[in-house]
Amino acid sequence: MIHSQILERIQETPSTVTLKFDWIEKVLPGQFIMIWVPGQGEIPMSMSFTGKPKGITVKAYGPPSRQLQQMGRGDTLYFRGPYGVPFTEIRGAKLIVGAGSGIASLLPLVDRNSTVMVSAKTESDLIYRGKINAKRIIYLTDDGTYGIKGFPDQVIKDVHPDDFEYIYVCGPEAMMYKVLLALKGRNDRAEFSLERSMKCGIGICDSCSIDGIQLCREGPVRGIGWLRESKEFGMTKLDRSGRRVRIEL
Ligand SMILES: Cc1cc2nc3c(=O)[nH]c(=O)nc-3n(C[C@H](O)[C@H](O)[C@H](O)COP(=O)(O)OP(=O)(O)OC[C@H]3O[C@@H](n4cnc5c(N)ncnc54)[C@H](O)[C@@H]3O)c2cc1C
Ligand code: FES
């Protein structure tokens, strides 16, 4: 287990914080770490900052993520990793589509060649607002309180996705599934970062399986061609007890 002191805590929104810490390990965009939250267990977190210092961006859901959020400067973070297949990095024109806390894993990809779509339920849920250094940023909210009112799959055609060399997507699975459908005709040069229940992070427990692969080792980033063939993407997943549950679209 690695440990590092938290250097900075940034309140991104009322429910989301970024924790920055020193770690000399090379980490690539799309990779994640398993964080031990004392008394709660381990949860996977994407690296939202891969330079110096490194960082994670945590949204509060249940007790583990809420406890992690309460940590601050000087507290010790315990974790292992980095794990997972990273995004394919290119120099050309990128379209980056992040919904909710999904924008966290995409942030390290952003450069001056990027068009970034950031969506959230409402204005106060938009993270990194005013901090993303891209060629173009398009904000969307479900309720229209900021930016365009609507969902990424409804407006993606307006930015002409075929003009981009590569497309990267991360967010709730229902949103990613609809974006996959909206990108009809595209079978390569697009990658999605998936989320499944992860317990070990290293290929032992199988809790993260999807279509016969283990997402912790062969994901979380998967290509659009594989996702088009998937029987489970956007359909079903295993919950923490191993029961198969339907994904609400
Ligand atoms: C590879 C990977 C990378 C991840 N990266 C990040 C990250 O960068 N930032 C981050 O905040 N989280 C990230 N997550 C999610 C994170 O690991 C936890 O699942 C999340 O923090 C909730 O954990 P919890 O135990 O606190 O809540 P739980 O007790 O698991 O859930 C509490 C409630 O919240 C709901 N819930 C849990 N997760 C979600 C979700 N993602 N969307 C909507 N509702 C949810 C549950 O259905 C439940 O009702 C990542 C997950 C994976 C697999
Ligand atoms: S999380 Fe255990 S096998 Fe993937």
pLDDT band at 46 (very low <50, low <70, confident <90, very high): very high
For residues 181 and 234, give the distance between their C-alpha atoms in angstroms, rounded to a whole number.
11
Q: Which residues pair with 138 in a beta bridge?
A: 117
Report pLDDT for 249.
76
Average pLDDT, whole number, for the chain?
A: 95
pLDDT, tens digit (0-9, with 9 covering 90-100), for 69-85: 999 999 999 999 999 99
49 and 127 share one domain: no
88 occurs within a structural domain: no
Largest CA distance in the chain: 50
Residues 88-92 have a mean pLDDT of 95
Residue 66 sits in which domain range? 2-83
CA 10 – ligand 1 centroid, Å: 19
Contact by Cβ (8 Å): 117, 152: yes
41 occurs within a structural domain: yes
Report pLDDT for 239.
85
For residues 36 and 32, give the distance between their C-alpha atoms in angstroms, rounded to a whole number.
13
Q: Tell whether ligand 2 has an atom less than 6 A from the beta carbon of residue 198.
A: yes
With 80 as the cut, is the pLDDT of residue 241 above it?
Answer: yes
Which segment of 43-47, 118-122, 188-192, 231-235 scores lowest on mean pLDDT? 231-235
Q: Which residues pair with 245 in a beta bridge?
A: 237
Q: The whole model's pTM is what?
A: 0.95
Q: Is 220 exposed, middle or buried (0-12, 13-18, 19+ CB in 10 A)?
A: buried
214 and 194 share one domain: yes
Residues 164-182 have a mean pLDDT of 96
For residues 71 and 167, give the distance between their C-alpha atoms in angstroms, rounded to a whole number.
34
Q: Read off the CATH number of the domain in which 211 is found.
A: 3.40.50.80
198 occurs within a structural domain: yes
Which positions ≥6 away from 164 have C-beta within 8 Å?
Answer: 93, 94, 95, 115
Q: Tell whether ligand 1 has an atom less than 6 A from the beta carbon of residue 106.
A: no
CA 171 – ligand 2 centroid, Å: 20
Residues 51-56 have a mean pLDDT of 96
Q: Is 212 left (phi over 0), alpha (psi -120 to 50) or beta?
A: left
Q: Tell whether ligand 1 has an atom less than 6 A from the beta carbon of residue 61.
A: yes
Report which of 144, 96, 92 is spatially closest to residue 120, judged by C-alpha positions: 144
Report pLDDT for 204.
96
225 and 105 share one domain: yes
Report pLDDT for 185.
87
Determine which helix (DSSP H) or strand (DSSP E) holds 181, and give its type and residue range: helix 173-182
Contact by Cβ (8 Å): 192, 180: yes
Task: Indicate the residue among 83, 112, 127 that finishes a domain.
Answer: 83
47 and 155 share one domain: no
Q: Tell whether ligand 1 has an atom less than 6 A from the beta carbon of residue 192.
A: no
CA 162 – ligand 1 centroid, Å: 32
